[in-house]
C-alpha cells in the first residue's frame, strides 16, 4: 500500500521503516531539510538498535523515501499518518500545534479520498480537531473530498522500538468508518500473523488507551518506588518483596523494578497530560498526581542517600562522584527527563565534581550542559572512576552489571557505591569492603 508519514522523529521514522520493511511503499515527510538530507544519505538522527540497517536497506530498495515536499508526499499515500511531536505546554497539557499544522497541510494538498491517522499521543478529542482543521482547508479552496480521521496509537519502547513495531502486542485501531478500519487492517496484516492482535474501537477510546497504558506502567513504577522507600525504613529488602509479588500473574514481573525514578519522553509527559485531561473534564486525578509526585521525589533519592552517608550536604563539597549512566534508560542516547539530570544538578549545587560515563549519551550530555569545570565526560566506565570518591549508578547499561569490586575498592577513595538501579547484591559489595546503598534495601 502507499503510505505517507508526516514527522521523521522517533515514532514516524520507526513506523515508516517497519511498514516499508514488510513491502509497503512509504514516503516520510519532515520540515527539517537537514534531517531529510541526512536520511537520504543514510544518516539516522536517533540511536535505536537495528534501525540504521533497516532504513538503509529499504531506502536502497526504493520502498522508503524522505522528502520535505508535502504536495508530492500527499500525492503518494492512501493512508496518511500524523507522527509529529506533542510537547507539554506550561501546564503539562499536550501542545497540539504541530499536529494541527500537519492537519492543515493535509487539507491544503489533499487530492483524493484518504484515511488520516493520528499516531502521535494526543488528548482525547484530538481526532475531531484534526478533522475540523482539514475540513476548513478543503472548504477554503472549495474542494469536496471525503476523508476519515482514525486513531492508531503507538506502543514503541525506545531501545526496543523496531522489535515492538515488527512484533506488536496489540494494534489499536480507533475508527468509526468500516472502510477506514478495513484499510488499516490491510496495512497491518503483515504484523498480525499467528493470532489476532488488532483491537478495533471508537476513536476516543483509542486516544485514551494510549494514555491509560503509559499511566498504568508509570503507576506500577511509582508504586514500587514507594514500597522501596518503606522497605528502606522498616529494614526490608524491596528486591525480595519484588520477587515475592511478581509471581502473582495479576501483578506480573514487568515494570515493578524500583529505581532512581522513571524518565523519557513519554511517561512524565503522558501522566501529566492525562491528569490535565481529567481536570478539564471535572475529574480529580488523585492517583495520577500521586504517581507524578512519587516520581519527582524518587529522582532525588540517590542524592538523599549520599547526604545520609556523608552526614550532611556540606560534606559533599569538594567530593568527586563517578556517575555511570546518563540516558533515561539503557540502549538509548535520550536524556529527556533522565534521573541523572536531577542528580547532577544536586551534586553541583552541593559543590561536588562529577566524572560521568554513558555508552551512548555523552554527546547529548555535552549538548545539554556544555563545558563546565565540575563535569568531566569520560569515554570509559573505568576512566570515570579515576580520582573519584564515590560511584553512583543511574542507568542499568549491561556493561555496568558485573564490575571488579576489588578494583573499585582500590579506586574509590571513600569506598562507597550508590546503586540507583539495584544492579548489585549488597553482600557482594560489602564483602569487597565497599559501603553499599541501593533503592529500598534497608535490611
The contact set with ligand UGA (CB under 6 A) reads: 121, 154-158, 214, 217, 221, 255-257, 259, 262-264, 266-267, 328-329
153 is in an annotated binding site: no
211 is in an annotated binding site: no
Q: 102 phi and psi, to 5 degrees?
A: -65, -40
Least separation in angstroms between residue 156's CB and ligand UGA is 5
Least separation in angstroms between residue 232's CB and ligand UGA is 16
Least separation in angstroms between residue 259's CB and ligand UGA is 4
Non-local CB neighbours of 317 within 8 Å, separated by 6+ positions: 350, 351, 352
Non-local CB neighbours of 14 within 8 Å, separated by 6+ positions: 48, 51, 156, 161, 162, 165
Q: Which is nearer to ligand UGA, 156 or 392 (CB)?
A: 156
Non-local CB neighbours of 200 within 8 Å, separated by 6+ positions: 173, 174, 175, 181
Q: Which is nearer to ligand UGA, 260 or 391 (CB)?
A: 260
Strand order in the sheet with 147-151: 64-67, 25-29, 2-6, 79-82, 114-118, 147-151, 171-174, 198-201
259 is in an annotated binding site: yes
Q: Which is nearer to ligand UGA, 21 or 154 (CB)?
A: 154
d(CA 304, CA 57): 49
126 is in an annotated binding site: no
329 is in an annotated binding site: yes
In the annotation, is 266 catalytic? yes
303 is in an annotated binding site: no
66 is in an annotated binding site: no
Write down the residue that cell numbers 540504521 correspond to.
52
Write down the residue that cell numbers 518503606 correspond to.
230
Closest to 29 in 3D by CA, of 58, 68, 78: 68
Least separation in angstroms between residue 77's CB and ligand UGA is 23
* Run of H or E including 151: strand 147-151
158 is in an annotated binding site: yes
332 is in an annotated binding site: no
**CA-to-CA dists, residue 431 to 406, 409, 411, 415, 436, angstroms:** 10, 10, 16, 12, 10
Task: Read off the C-alpha cell for 357.
Answer: 560515563
Q: Which is nearer to ligand UGA, 158 or 226 (CB)?
A: 158
Write down the residue that cell numbers 568527586 correspond to.
320
Catalytic residue among 28, 165, 266, 378: 266
Task: Read off the C-alpha cell for 324.
Answer: 555511570
Least separation in angstroms between residue 153's CB and ligand UGA is 8
Least separation in angstroms between residue 107's CB and ligand UGA is 27
DSSP tag of 354: E
d(CA 179, CA 261): 43
Q: Which is nearer to ligand UGA, 17 or 214 (CB)?
A: 214
269 is in an annotated binding site: yes
* Run of H or E including 6: strand 2-6
Residue 145 exposure: Cα atoms within 13 Å on the Cβ side = 23
Q: Which is nearer to ligand UGA, 259 or 359 (CB)?
A: 259
Q: Which is nearer to ligand UGA, 28 or 376 (CB)?
A: 28
Q: Which is nearer to ligand UGA, 262 or 310 (CB)?
A: 262
- Sort 87 into a burial class: Cβ within 10 Å, 0-12 / 13-18 / 19+: exposed
Strand order in the sheet with 416-419: 375-378, 353-357, 320-324, 390-393, 416-419, 435-437
Least separation in angstroms between residue 257's CB and ligand UGA is 3
Least separation in angstroms between residue 341's CB and ligand UGA is 12
Binding site feature residues for substrate: 155-158, 210, 255-259, 263, 329
Residue set of the binding site for NAD(+): 30, 35, 86, 121, 158, 269, 336
The residues assigned a catalytic role are 266
| Residue set of the binding site | 30, 35, 86, 121, 155-158, 210, 255-259, 263, 269, 329, 336
Amino acid at each position: 500500500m502507499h503510505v505517507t508519514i508526516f514527522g521523521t522523529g522517533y515514532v514516524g521514522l520507526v513506523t515508516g521503516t517497519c511498514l516499508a520493511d514488510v513491502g509497503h511503499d512509504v514516503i516520510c515527510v519532515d520540515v527539517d531539510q537537514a534531517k531529510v538530507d541526512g536520511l537520504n544519505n543514510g544518516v539516522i538522527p536517533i540511536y535505536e538498535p537495528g534501525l540504521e540497517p533497516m532504513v538503509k536497506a529499504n531506502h536502497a530498495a526504493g520502498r522508503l523515501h524522505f522528502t520535505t515536499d508535502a504536495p508530492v508526499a500527499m500525492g503518494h499515500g492512501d493512508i496518511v499518518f500524523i507522527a509529529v511531536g506533542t510537547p507539554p505546554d506550561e501546564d503539562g497539557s499536550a501542545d497540539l500545534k504541530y499536529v494541527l499544522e500537519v492537519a492543515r497541510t493535509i487539507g491544503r494538498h489533499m487530492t483524493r479520498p484518504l484515511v488520516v491517522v493520528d499516531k502521535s499521543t494526543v488528548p482525547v478529542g484530538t481526532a475531531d480537531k484534526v478533522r475540523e482543521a482539514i475540513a476548513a482547508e478543503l472548504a477554503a479552496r472549495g474542494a469536496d473530498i471525503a476523508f476519515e480521521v482514525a486513531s492508531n496509537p503507538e506502543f514503541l519502547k525506545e531501545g526496543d522500538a523496531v522489535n515492538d513495531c515488527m512484533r506488536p502486542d496489540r494494534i489499536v485501531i480507533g475508527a468509526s468508518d468500516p472502510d477506514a478500519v478495513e484499510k488499516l487492517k490491510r496495512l497491518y496484516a503483515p504484523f498480525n500473523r499467528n493470532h489476532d492482535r488488532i483491537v478495533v474501537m471508537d476513536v476516543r477510546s483509542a486516544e485514551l488507551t494510549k494514555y491509560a497504558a503509559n499511566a498504568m506502567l508509570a503507576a506500577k513504577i511509582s508504586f514500587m518506588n514507594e514500597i522501596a522507600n518503606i522497605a528502606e525504613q522498616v529494614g526490608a529488602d524491596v528486591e525480595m518483596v519484588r520477587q515475592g509479588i511478581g509471581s502473582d500473574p495479576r501483578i506480573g514481573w514487568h515494570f515493578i523494578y524500583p529505581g532512581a525514578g522513571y524518565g523519557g519522553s513519554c511517561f512524565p509527559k503522558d501522566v501529566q497530560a492525562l491528569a490535565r485531561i481529567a481536570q478539564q473534564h471535572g475529574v480529580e486525578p488523585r492517583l495520577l498526581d500521586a504517581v507524578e509526585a512519587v516520581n519527582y521525589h524518587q529522582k532525588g533519592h540517590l542524592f538523599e542517600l549520599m547526604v545520609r552517608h556523608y552526614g550532611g550536604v556540606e560534606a559533599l563539597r569538594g567530593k568527586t562522584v563517578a556517575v555511570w549512566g546518563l540516558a533515561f534508560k539503557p540502549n538509548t542516547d535520550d536524556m529527556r527527563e533522565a534521573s541523572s539530570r536531577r542528580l547532577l544538578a544536586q551534586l553541583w549545587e552541593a559543590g561536588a565534581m562529577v566524572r560521568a560515563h554513558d555508552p551512548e549519551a555523552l554527546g547529548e550530555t555535552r549538548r545539554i550542559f556544555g563545558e563546565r569545570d565540575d563535569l568531566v565526560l569520560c569515554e570509559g566506565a573505568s576512566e570515570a572512576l579515576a580520582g573519584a570518591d564515590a560511584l553512583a549508578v543511574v542507568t542499568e547499561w549491561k556493561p555496568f552489571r558485573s564490575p571488579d569490586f576489588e578494583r573499585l575498592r582500590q579506586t574509590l577513595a571513600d569506598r562507597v557505591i550508590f546503586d540507583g538501579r539495584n544492579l548489585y547484591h549488597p553482600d557482594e559489595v560489602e564483602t569487597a569492603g565497599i559501603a553499599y546503598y541501593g533503592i529500598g534495601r534497608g535490611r
